[in-house]
Chains A and B, each alone.
Chain A
Amino acid sequence: MKIKVKVNGAWREDEVEPRLLLVHYLRDVAGLTGTHIGCETSICGACTVLVNGEAVKSCTLFAVQADGAEILTIEGLAPDGQLHPLQQGFWEEHGLQCGFCTPGMILASYQLLKRNPHPSPEEIRQGLEGNLCRCTGYQHIVKAVEWAAARMSS
């Protein structure tokens, strides 16, 4: 099937198998490997991307379901190399170790801050409960999101 999607600001058209998952489309067809695959069953959130502004676990969608949609992946968050405050916050506050969960954590946080620009630590924890980190940097992830929230509102 032919699909047309806007990925990180640029439209593209591809012929895909109906059973192709969005995460595989992004990684293997569009070549955007910053979106990771962890659990394969929509639990860990490593594959989180934004579809029309909503955080979505991209292993739960088929690529064909995203036809016509606008998708933002981690690569699109710093298009000109200038880190987004969330990316800076995860670096500055050590919100990552191995870094495998990081792109998904950042995009889930992105939506969280869009809905609630000044979250309490409790709200950050609640907002990120769908993303797993095994290393685990949870404590610093909360601080990273707080850091970004402060930076984005100043």
Chain B
Amino acid sequence: MATCKYDWPEAAERHLIGKPISRIDGPAKSSGRAKYTYDINRPGMLFGKVLRCPHAHAKVTSIDISEAKNLPGVKAVRVIQGEGKEILWGGDEIACVAAVSEEVAEDAIRRIKVQYEELPFLVNEEDLERAQSQGHTRAPSVQTKGDPDKAFADPDVVISEGYYGAPVITHCCLETHGQVTEYDGSDHLRVWISTQGVSTIPQQFAEVLGLPATHVEAICDYIGGGFGSKFQIDRWGVECARLSKDAGGKAVKLMLERDAELKVAGTRPSAFAKVKVAAKKDGTLVAWQSEAWGTGGVAGAGVPPLPYVLEGIPNQSKKYTAVSTNTGGARAWRAPNHPQAAVLTLCALDDLAAKLEMDPIEFLTKNTGLAPEHLGETYNDELAKVAELSEWKKYWHPRGRGGSGRIRRGLGVSIHTWGGRGHNSNCDVLIQPDGSVEVRLGSQDLGTGTRTVIAIVAAETLGLPVEAIKVTLGDSRYPYSGASGGSTTVGGVSASTRRGSVDARDQLFAAVAPALGVPPDQLEAAAGHIRVKGNPAKSLSWKQACARLGTKTIQATGKNPGPCELGSSGVGGAQVADVSVDTETGRIKVNRMIAAQDCGLIIDMKTAESQVYGAMIMGISYALFEERVMDDQTGIMLNPNMEFYKLATIGDIPEFIVHMMTGPQYDRRGVIGLGEPPVISPGAAISNAVANAIGVRVPTLPLTPDKVLAALEKA
């Protein structure tokens, strides 16, 4: 039984929570009615365009906007970085215009004359020595634990050494970054913006534009992908607002072109490492050594958490060097730093297991005690589950013993972790006298199903069907709810909605208790009725009950954090990849991906599973195809388009088996976020499967045919 007022209902009492429920925004999205930022058109709206720097590193020596200003149809021209400014990466903003049509705006951009003094640059970082010699590295961070030298010197340990890496990739959201800005008078700004943080937008604009935050409204009903790249208002957002102001307050729409999206609107940092790792002959891990580096643009990159997951390895020596490159900056990319750390760690451990001639699942299971806190047990359950579902015993073979034919098959495994504690969230739950119910909050639905989980929680609490709940989000005028990052949204909004719905329900109980002749605490909301516990015949229909409110609307505010823990953090997951490699062409085909994933209490099984499927496909995409290619000679990005920035297509998808870990030990932990964790393992799992198939490691992602053939040749 629930011990705290706001607890989640026990498994046997749940009618909706945990069931596979179709998303409530499905019809809007499948009929073209859903309006994305790109779709917002305002009366008299102007179109904004940005002139971008064509050099990786340069100084602006002169800029002339007069011709652009004089072009008919141009309403505003702004210099963003003018004479004397040093530009540190290709594609950075130089100037912008607003005009009556996109075509005129483009014509105006072409009429802006800029002269640059080109400066030396570095755009590629895999060659660390070159980066060092050109002064592009930061002081390394060095950490030591235990006595790694002694541990590696022990004659009884087996040591494996290798080189591993993952390159810079981009977010490549299908809807590019951008916004429509419009002034109402001189000091009220409305902005429709493709964002992951509706409630955080007003303050960001207010700070830069010198307006009170209360005078800024942000709206985002639907967003075409974010993946961590859409938290900031960005310089183009600020300039869009300034163009509106310069044009007398008119709305200006400025969406990034695809090339700009790939050059400047977000990347995942690279990570490369030389790794040395040691275990006793029975497989017990004893020592880790890594020299890692990577770049996230001019500012360098965050340090990947090494050794990943099995952080309790007793002896460790770690060095990390951030490389500064003249490239578009990194942003949080779905589970920041984790996919890279998984590649560097789980591939190194897989090579060690091969050297020990151990089955990698047995090897990992032997070492899960080195994972943080409670996770060891979760991993053991999950590893056993993926072994069973993948028929591991049947299909796995020792490394390189995949036959001698042209096509070789192999299996690989990886594990991952993520936090996912619910963020700060507030919502208003309204029950109207006509029986209609609305939950309002300044949150956003990235496509993960946020609207749907809110509706499920409110409906479960009020004893109503999901369709009875109207969820209104995507506007900063509603109660503050945190940005959607770090897989924190489902935990935050489900808890605030639960608390608000419980309080709203209790207000309704108080209003109808006299009519039912029992104290309010003897009432329950179930099956569309308010009824007396243990005596369901004594009841009012939901509509009858609400009619008792007269003209008074119930409004209750739910908050997270709040009383009763409704969520926690720290999930585990395990994945197996099954691949076939063509040893003549180097082409890899993923046959199957198998996942076991924990995310605490699941609200909607359908949207939860969908996150795992989607994440694994995104993982196949970065494992096999994705890479930002920078030209050493010119400093520009060679593939800022979707022809040559390759994404997985529907033809690349294998068979999937997804198993969500459920049961009392998971429920008890409350709701935990899920959007990020399952995207972490595919790179390592697929790389390990390839090594298992062909007997040799392809060191870095993406595992393109040329690299596979090179690795085979070297072997």
**Chain A residues close to B by CB (< 8 Å):** 17, 19-20, 24, 27-28, 31-41, 43-44, 46, 73-75, 77-78, 83, 86-88, 90-92, 94, 96-103, 106, 124-126, 128-129, 131-142
Interface string of B91-130 (1 = CB under 8 A from A): 0000000000011000000000000000000000000000
Please give me the residue from chain A that is nearest to B227 by CB atom: A134
| Other contacts beyond A38-B224, A90-B30, A99-B34: 6, CB < 8 A | A33-B35, A83-B30, A91-B26, A99-B30, A100-B224, A134-B227
Leading 6 A-B pairs by shortest Cβ distance: A34-B32, A98-B447, A91-B26, A100-B224, A99-B29, A33-B39
Interchain CA distance A51-B540 in the complex, whole Å: 55
A124 to chain B, nearest CB (A): 8
Assess A91 versus B30: contact at CB under 8 Å? Given A39-B641, A40-B258.
yes
A77 to B173, CA, bound (A): 26
User: Interface SS of chain B: helix, strand, loop or mixed?
Assistant: loop
B614 A137 Cβ-Cβ under 8 A = yes
User: Whole-angstrom distance from the CB of A96 to the nearest CB of chain B?
Assistant: 5
B648 within 8 A of A: yes
- Interface residues contributed by chain B, number (CB under 8 Å): 52
C-alpha spacing A112/B102, complex, angstroms:
34
The answer for the CA separation of A133 and B647 in the assembled complex, in Å, is 9
Determine whether B41 belongs to the interface, using a CB cutoff of 8 Å to chain A. Answer: yes
Given that A43-B641, A134-B618 are known contacts, is A94 also in contact with B23, CB under 8 Å in the complex? yes
Q: CA–CA, A47 to B706, complex, Å?
A: 33
Q: Does B448 contact A (CB under 8 A)?
A: yes
B643 partner residues in chain A, CB cutoff 8 A: 41, 43
Closest chain A residue, CB of each to CB of B172: A134
CB–CB B448/A75 < 8 A: no
Q: How far is the CA of A45 from the CA of B172 in the complex (A)?
A: 15
A126 partner residues in chain B, CB cutoff 8 A = 651
Within 8 A of A (CB), among B435-450: 446-449
Quick one: which of B31, B102, B650 contacts A34, CB cutoff 8 A? B31
Report whether over half of chain A's contact residues are helix, strand or loop; otherwise say mixed.
loop
Q: Please tell me if the beta carbons of B258 and A103 are within 8 angstroms of each other in the complex.
A: no
What B residues does A34 contact at CB under 8 A?
A: 31-33
- Are the C-beta atoms of B23 and A91 separated by less than 8 Å? yes
Residues of B contacting A91 with CB < 8 Å?
A: 22-23, 26-27, 29-30
A46-B174, A138-B650, A139-B617 given as contacts; is B38 within 8 A of A36 (CB)? yes
Contact indicator B610/A134 (Cβ below 8 Å): no
> Is B175 touching A142 in the complex (CB atoms < 8 A)?
no
Tell whether, in the assembled complex, residue B614 and residue A136 are in contact, meaning their CB atoms are under 8 Å apart: yes
Are B618 and A136 in contact, with the CB atoms below 8 A? Answer: yes
Query: Could you tell me the distance in whole angstroms from the C-beta of A78 to the nearest C-beta in chain B?
Result: 5
Query: B510 on the interface (CB 8 Å rule)?
Result: no
A96 to B24, CA, bound (A): 12
Given contacts A39-B642, A98-B225, A131-B650, contact A140 B613 (CB under 8 A): yes
Whether B32 lies near A135 (C-beta < 8 A) is no
| Closest chain A residue to B609, Cβ basis | A94
One digit per residue, 1 when the CB lies within 8 angstroms of any chain A CB and 0 when it does not, for chain B 247-281 equals: 00000000001100000000000000000000000
Contact with A along B621-656 (1 / 0, CB 8 A): 100000000000000000001110001111101001
A125:B31 contact, CB within 8 angstroms: no
Contacts of B448 in A (CB 8 A): 97
Instruction: Please tell me if B25 contacts chain A, counting CB pairs below 8 Å.
Output: yes
Bound complex: CA A91 to CA B448 (Å): 14
Chain B residues with a Cβ under 8 A of chain A: 22-23, 25-36, 38-39, 41, 102-103, 172-175, 222-225, 227, 257-258, 446-449, 606-607, 610, 613-614, 617-618, 621, 641-643, 647-651, 653, 656
- Pair B642/A44 contact, Cβ less than 8 Å: yes
* B23 & A100 in contact (Cβ 8 Å cutoff): no
Interchain Cβ contacts under 8 Å between A and B, 8 examples: A35-B32, A74-B30, A75-B33, A91-B30, A94-B22, A94-B610, A102-B30, A131-B650
Residues of A with C-beta under 8 A to B103: 17, 19-20
Nearest CB of chain A from residue B179's CB, rounded to whole Å: 15
> How distant is the Cα of A74 from the Cα of B614 in the complex, in angstroms?
24
Interchain CB contact under 8 A, B102 and A99: no
Compute how far the CA of A133 lies from the CA of B610 in the bound complex, rounded to whole angstroms. Answer: 13
Chain A positions within 8 Å of B41 at CB level: 28, 31, 33
Least CB distance from B346 to A in Å reads 23
CB <8 Å contact, B618 and A90:
no
Smallest Cβ distance from A36 to chain B, in angstroms? 7
Query: Separation in Å of the A105 CB from the closest CB of chain B?
Result: 9
Closest approach, in angstroms, between the C-beta of A48 and any C-beta of chain B? 12
Known: A129-B649, A133-B650. A87 touches B31 (CB 8 A): yes
With A136-B614, A140-B610, A141-B650 already in contact, the answer to whether A33 and B32 are too (CB < 8 A) is yes
The answer for the CA separation of A106 and B29 in the assembled complex, in Å, is 11
Residues of chain B within 8 A of A136, CB atoms compared: 614, 617-618, 621, 648
Which residues of A are found within 8 Å of B617, using beta-carbon distances?
A: 136, 138-139
| Max chain B Cβ within 10 angstroms of own Cβ: one of A35, A102, A125 | A102
Given contacts A28-B41, A100-B225, contact A128 B32 (CB under 8 A): no
The CA of A30 and the CA of B398, in the complex, are separated in Å by 62
Q: Is the CB of B31 within 8 A of A74?
A: yes
Residue pair B447, A135 in contact (C-beta under 8 Å)? yes
Within the complex, which residue of B223, B641, B653 is in contact with A138, where a contact is CB–CB below 8 Å? Answer: B653
**Contact between chains at B174 and A101 (CB < 8 Å):** yes
Of listed B35, B102, B647, residue having the most chain A CB within 10 A: B647
Partner of B25, one of A46, A77, A99, A128: A99
Residue of B nearest to A74 (CB): B32
- Among B174, B257, B607, contact of A98 (Cβ-Cβ < 8 Å): B174
**Contact present for A41 and B642 (CB under 8 Å):** yes
Whether B224 lies near A41 (C-beta < 8 A) is no
CB distance from B191 to the nearest CB of A (A): 18
- Which B residues lie within 8 Å of A28 (CB)? 41
Q: How far is the CB of B487 from chain A (nearest CB, A)?
A: 14
B-chain residues with CB within 8 Å of residue A92 when the two chains form the complex: 22, 26
A17–B35 Cα gap in the complex (Å)?
26
Q: In the bound complex, what is the Cα–Cα distance between A126 and B647 (angstroms)?
A: 16
